[in-house]
Structure 1
Amino acid sequence: MRVLVQGAGVAGLTAAFELAVRGATVTVAEIRHALGGNASWFAGGMLAPWCERESAEQPVLDLGRDAAEWWEAVTPGQVTRAGTLVVAAPRDAGELERFASRTSGHRRVDEDEIALREPDLAGRFRRGLLFPDEAHLDPRQAMAAVHDRLSAMGVEFRFDADARHISGFDRQIDCTGMATDDDRLRGVRGEMLILRTPDVSLSRPVRLLHPRFPLYVVPRADRRFMVGATMIESHSGGPVTARSMIELLGAACALHPAFGEAEIVETGVGVRPAFPDNLPRVEARGNTVAINGLYRHGFLLAPAMARQAADLVFNHDGTKELAHETVGQRRSA
């Protein structure tokens, strides 16, 4: 089975791995000149299915429950399993109660335990929620690790390549996100900052709840922190706006004032593809399987969707065309 994977974002890389380990001869075609620059590159990397259930449907939890195990197995050393801490200022205690009522897999923590687990937040928050089974990774390091592993397995990468002009494959996996021609998709713009400061230390992602501008801060190496929160209905991939910059920095300083003196190492924007129901789909038509609509859950849901895509490919012989089929939220229901 010769399979062409279109796109080297998180969906394409995970699909290539699932196909290769099942014995397919895989080529990955990416229109960019190297890894990076896509929505995956600007992701938070939180493997947080229980937290995401606060605003997502049940299939996100069902499909993402095993994501940390997949990433640990495929990219050893890349996953940090320290859970997620959710906090709110005393005046926003109602937001914390609302979050707790919409999620599971957490336990309540008081001021003393918050200080024990995150000493730099000592005295800043009275109550919180700890999701102990959640994890996180650095998306860029994880993507590079998958790329290197695939290359060692014999997967060919063609950068600066337009998949529309490549032929000679039995199957194709379309993982091109917003670049595809599916008019059901809409773009959801996510903006992020990477800050660096020696004055803050966090062991796990921290979510700060706020009725107007909730925030998450994800620790990375070298005292860097990925700060994000925005979800803007837009196809525009232009630079971070002044309003978003102000709100992101203001919310980060509300979590810890030392972020006000941090270096702004990088700003970035990723446009995430989403279907109307915000749930992902794996769809087969002809000889092509499409993985799309991962929305804000790319690293969380890509492993499950990649397995589903590989199932579709290998449930048919090498000559028969794939019947039209859709899996994703239906399978997890």
Structure 2
Amino acid sequence: MDCALRYVLLLTLPCLLAACGGDSDHASGTPSSPVSSDIIWQQQDNLNLPAGVTFHRGQKEGHTQFSAWYLKLDPSVAELALNPIRLSPVKTLDQLTEPHLVAAMNGGFFGGDQSYSAAIKGNEVLSKNIAALSRFNKTYPVMRALFLTDTAGKSEVTWIYHFGDSVADIRQYDQPLAYQRNSDTPQPAPQAEDGRLLPSLGMAIGGGPMLVQDGATVLSYDEEIFWGSGVELTDTRPRSAIGYTAQGYIILFVTNALTLTELPGHLLKLGVEGAINLDGGGSSALRVLDDTVFNQHRPVPIALTISQEP
């Protein structure tokens, strides 16, 4: 049995119906119906943030329970580093003790202490995107979305599949597998020769579905097999996303109440050119300096951090 098939079988067993992670959980105190009005943003200038990072709070007129936040990072500032970190044992964001921490948000999907979404720091693979899911008592190979920055500081979003344990074993593709909602026929697994190697990486974080690509809504929910997972398109709950703008800034976005279908539009209004969804529901969290501005007290195995190098 080759290593790719062994990996598929091992990942399928603990994740029979999962996406995986906390997106199926509603956070208490959030609105129970979709909110569709514009977000009114205000930059928070009273924080001692380093040059190259700004923090913004958002509200909606007439919706007092709604909140949103985003951090805008300039990756050209050499003193700043954006990286995923693996938390073992799992931790909440307020428990992080990493030195020189500027901000942190939750990563991708997980079950227990096992991440099912990619997290890569340089050439070190901290976790992999899940390679297969079980639907209708069948095994479905699946590609999932990835946000990456290369060593030159350029960001992009893509779909990937892992053929082994190293960065060299990952291939990226222009399209995910061609699934439709509730398809009862698994697609063939992708072939390595049909994909491309990743660029030399600074970092990468996985999740899904892809939300925005080339400045337009994509929302590859069906193709990434989020149906049957508990992650729904139209329920209002906390959401987390990461994207980049045409000017090269990186956006870390968290809200306490949006539908998945609403999320791309709000990111596009921030000038985002490419973005992916991260875990949501009870997993969505955001910390800025020592203030966990959105804290649902759920431990996560992967956090995405901004740090200031000494």
TM range (shorter): under 0.3
Larger Rg: 1
Structure showing greater relative contact order (alpha-carbon pairs closer than 8 Å, 6 or more residues apart)? 2
Task: Return the structure number with greater helix share.
Answer: 1
Task: Give TM-score scaled by structure 1 length.
Answer: 0.24
Normalising to structure 2: TM-score of the pair?
0.25
Q: Which has the higher strand share?
A: 2
